[in-house]
Amino acid sequence: MGMVPALLLLLAAFLIIFKGADWFVISSVRIAEGFHIPKVLVGATIVSLVTVSPELLVSAIAAFLGKTEMAIGNAVGSPITNIGFIFAACVCFTFIPVEGKVVWNQGLMMLGSVILLFLLGLRGYIGRPTAILFLALVFLYLWYSVKMARSAIKIWNENNKGKTENQQTDGELFQLKKDVLFFLLGAALVVAGSRLLILSGTALAKCFGVSETVIGLTLVSFGTSLPEFFTSITALTKGHQ
């Protein structure tokens, strides 16, 4: 594959992943709200998981296809892109107040996971026991997030005591079915876009004569972070800092 077709395929993959992730995230939140799950719990669990679906699927598919360098490059490069590019770009638009508690809790967890990955990666490989350890840490983070959200959930329940939670109108049921459809379509687009991203990334690595790790750390990680970038910019324009 030549450079121009690879670049066009890369652009198509970016667009497909962006649209698929957009449908996937929005429909996931709406489905959760349709079952009367409080927004604070949705944000602490569902949103935090589905927003990383592009990175997860790209790295998983790359690893399955034997492109381990691209998989690790994307997994490591995406957080760097999220902080160094997305967060920095948002701060350039407006002042963003940050609570010290958030920095101490979530920031410390993120820093700890990065240090742990660095130390374990010094061995020259990432094995299955390491993967199990990180999965356990993810569940620990989710448990902690849910625990911290309980007080807000209690307030939400008190404010919605008078609402009928067990009955839904025909319009709400139709919207729920529509959200499920967009959830499935979004997931399918993310998978398809991830596959195209890996193919184009591999081709570009050969064209430029660089390793797949470099492509994963740069182009692929940037592409999988596009949904978060546009979501953050949109949130800022609507005043949701």
User: Residue 59 above 60 pLDDT?
Assistant: yes
φ/ψ of residue 140, rounded to 5 = -65, -40
What's the token pair of residue 177?
């079915």
**Tens of pLDDT, residues 105-136:** 777 888 888 888 888 888 887 888 888 998 89
Query: What DSSP string runs through the chain?
Result: --HHHHHHHHHHHHHHHHHHHHHHHHHHHHHHHHTT--HHHIIIIIIHHHTTHHHHHHHHHHHHTT-HHHHHHHHHHHHHHIIIIIIHHHHHHS-----HHHIIIIIHHHHHHHHHHHHHHTTS---HHHHHHHHHHHHHHHHHHHHHHHHHHHHHHHHTTTS-SS---HHHHHHHHHHHHHHHHHHHHHHHHHHHHHHHHHHHHHHHT--HHHHIIIIIHHHHTHHHHHHHHHHHHTT--
Confidence of residue 47 (pLDDT cuts 50, 70, 90): low
User: Quick one: pLDDT at residue 44?
Assistant: 61
In percent, how much of the chain has pLDDT > 70?
Answer: 76
Helix (H, G, I), strand (E, B) or coil at 9: helix
User: Residue 194 above 60 pLDDT?
Assistant: yes
Mean pLDDT for all residues in the chain:
77
Q: What's the average model confidence in pLDDT over 179-200?
A: 83
Q: Which of 180, 153, 179 is nearest to 37 (CA)?
A: 153
Q: In whole angstroms, how large is the CA radius of gyration of the chain?
A: 20
User: Residue 165 above 60 pLDDT?
Assistant: no
CB distance 214 to 205 below 8 Å? yes
Total count of residues recorded for the chain = 241
User: Quick one: pLDDT at residue 168?
Assistant: 56
User: Quick one: pLDDT at residue 91?
Assistant: 82
Q: How buried is residue 122: exposed, middle or buried, by Cβ count under 10 Å (0-12/13-18/19+)?
A: exposed
User: Quick one: pLDDT at residue 240?
Assistant: 54
Confidence of residue 164 (pLDDT cuts 50, 70, 90): very low
- What is this structure's pTM? 0.64
